[in-house]
Amino acid sequence: MERLDQATIDLIEQEVNSRFSGGPLGRVAVIQYGDDPAIEPGEIGIRVDIDAPAGPGSDEEFLDSFKRTHKEAFAQLRRHIRQRFPQTRQIEFVGGADPRDRFMMRFPTQDEAAAELTPVMARLGPADLETLDTLITAGIAGNRAQAVRWTLARIRERPAYAKLCERAREIEELKSQF
């Protein structure tokens, strides 16, 4: 997949910074495929470091206050990023000393937004990620979630799957007899 040029990265960073002028933003980073395993081929993520003030109060309280204070800026950012950079899948805001203190704005794909889908989290190793990313690169799927759904659909088409379903029903029936 083609990486963004520096001019586009600079535009994205400027877009984020302009929404929070005078705010406590630190570094804005554009994360591309290959930079972070969570970013899929053809997608980008944005990570925004928020400089939490030193002193009393937790980082979590600071992030909650930041979200409330900049509610309109988040709405504008969501609209503008989605329009100008549709390959963006998430904007992650990280604040404080603990990297777990964060919140995300996610941008679902059209098929995710339109369908009644149940989110499933799976931890995949490098070989499995490479398999999914190959399906994306080959144009079979648009993202990893679609690649997994495509793979499951292929399994359901197999005659062995129908037999497996039949056996599972028989097992459930036997269990109910105990």
Q: Is the pLDDT of residue 78 over 80?
A: yes
Alpha helices in 87-125 (DSSP H): 110-114
- Going 153 to 154 to 160 to 164, the CA torsion angle's sign is negative
Contacts 24+ apart (CB under 8 A), 54-63: 58/96, 59/95, 59/96, 59/97, 59/98, 59/101, 60/96, 60/101, 62/95, 62/96, 63/93, 63/95, 63/96, 63/101, 63/102, 63/103
Read off the pLDDT of each residue in 139-153 and give the average, rounded to a whole number: 91
Q: Which residues pair with 30 in a beta bridge?
A: 46
pLDDT of residue 110: 65
Edge-to-edge strand list for the sheet holding 44-50: 25-32, 44-50, 88-95, 102-106
d(CA 48, CA 70): 14
Nearest Cα to Cα of residue 98 among 36, 65, 66, 52 = 52
Cβ pair 87, 44 in contact under 8 A: yes
Give the Cα separation of 163 and 170 in Å (integer).
11
Domain range 6-107, CATH class? alpha beta
pTM: 0.67
Query: What integer best gives the mean pLDDT of the chain?
Result: 85
Which among 78, 73, 95, 66 is positioned nearest to 19, based on CA atoms? 73
- pLDDT, residue 128, reads 95
- Note the pLDDT of residue 24: 75
β-strand pairing of 25-32 with 44-50 = antiparallel
Q: Tell me, what's the pLDDT at 1? A: 59
Q: Is the pLDDT of residue 74 over 80?
A: yes
